[in-house]
Amino acid sequence: MAPAAAAPKPRWQRRKDARPDEILAAALELFARHGYAATRLADVAAHAGVSKGTLYLYFPNKAELFKAVVRRAFAPNLLQAETLLAEFQGSSRELLSRLIEQAARVLVDTPLSGIPKLVIAEAGNFPEIAEFYFTEIIQRGQRLVEQVLARGLQRGEFRPIDTAAAKQLIVAPLIFQLLWKHTFQAYEAKPLPLERYVAAHLDLLFNGLTDRTSE
């Protein structure tokens, strides 16, 4: 008779180096579901299958836990976008399209969409998390957009524009769509697919950006 398969180990018996990731995954889910104020560290610990004392070994307070969640969630996506910018050989229009499509998937179509919504909703009561998110995520994303616009201007692909304003206008429809998803989409009879929304945004954007003087 074949030996019985070993039962999976409970979370508290797993390797210690797996615990931070389990805690961060649990925290992301609870922050996105309940918001910052309503999420308790005891609930995060229970959801991760660890004791509250174990959680405190890695994260001294809720603010530091939230910062770690944001870094873990968004830093790899930003690094991927920065790498794409550095290595891309095609047109600036193609590059900006790729970056917007990638950002739309992350910001609107994944569980990460709950984080910017949380920051917007609770910035008044917790300005420190808004400042952190602005410094670590928004400014880094804005620099990416500015660099793509500068690339397009330098190569004669885009017409002269106010890049300081454009970097916000380019991203604004994505922020609107993630807020719409969390607020009104449940009441729509037939929600607009994200792909159609992004395609319409890109069409409007490039009809405004493209330099047509040579046509």
78 and 55 inside one domain: no
38 and 89 inside one domain: no
Q: What is the mean pLDDT of residues 187-207?
A: 92
Q: Quick: pLDDT tens for 124-154.
A: 999 999 999 999 999 999 999 999 999 999 9
Give strand pairing partners of 109: none
133 and 28 inside one domain: no
Amino acid at 139: Q
81 and 162 inside one domain: yes
Of 11 and 116, the structure prediction assigns the larger pLDDT to: 116
Per-residue pLDDT, 18: 64
Residue 154 included in any domain: yes
Q: Quick: pLDDT tens for 165-177.
A: 999 999 999 999 9
Residue 8 included in any domain: no
46 and 81 inside one domain: no
Q: Average model confidence (pLDDT) for the chain?
A: 89
Residue 6 has pLDDT above 80, yes or no: no
Q: What is the CATH number of the domain that holds 84?
A: 1.10.357.10
User: Would the pTM count as exceeding 0.75?
Assistant: yes
Residue 169 included in any domain: yes
Residue 101 included in any domain: yes
* Domain count for the chain: 2
Q: What is the mean pLDDT of residues 94-118?
A: 92
Per-residue pLDDT, 148: 96
- Per DSSP, 135 falls in state I
Domain that holds residue 30: 14-60
Instruction: Determine contact, residues 161/149, Cβ cutoff 8 Å.
Output: yes
Per-residue pLDDT, 210: 72
Residue 97 included in any domain: yes
pLDDT confidence of 4, banded at 50, 70, 90? Answer: low
Per-residue pLDDT, 12: 47
Give strand pairing partners of 210: 158
Token readout for 139 is 């400014």
**Ranges of H-type helices in the chain:** 19-34, 41-48, 52-58, 62-87, 92-108, 114-122, 127-133, 139-154, 163-183, 194-209
Phi then psi for 158, rounded to 5 degrees?
Answer: -115, 150
39 and 119 inside one domain: no
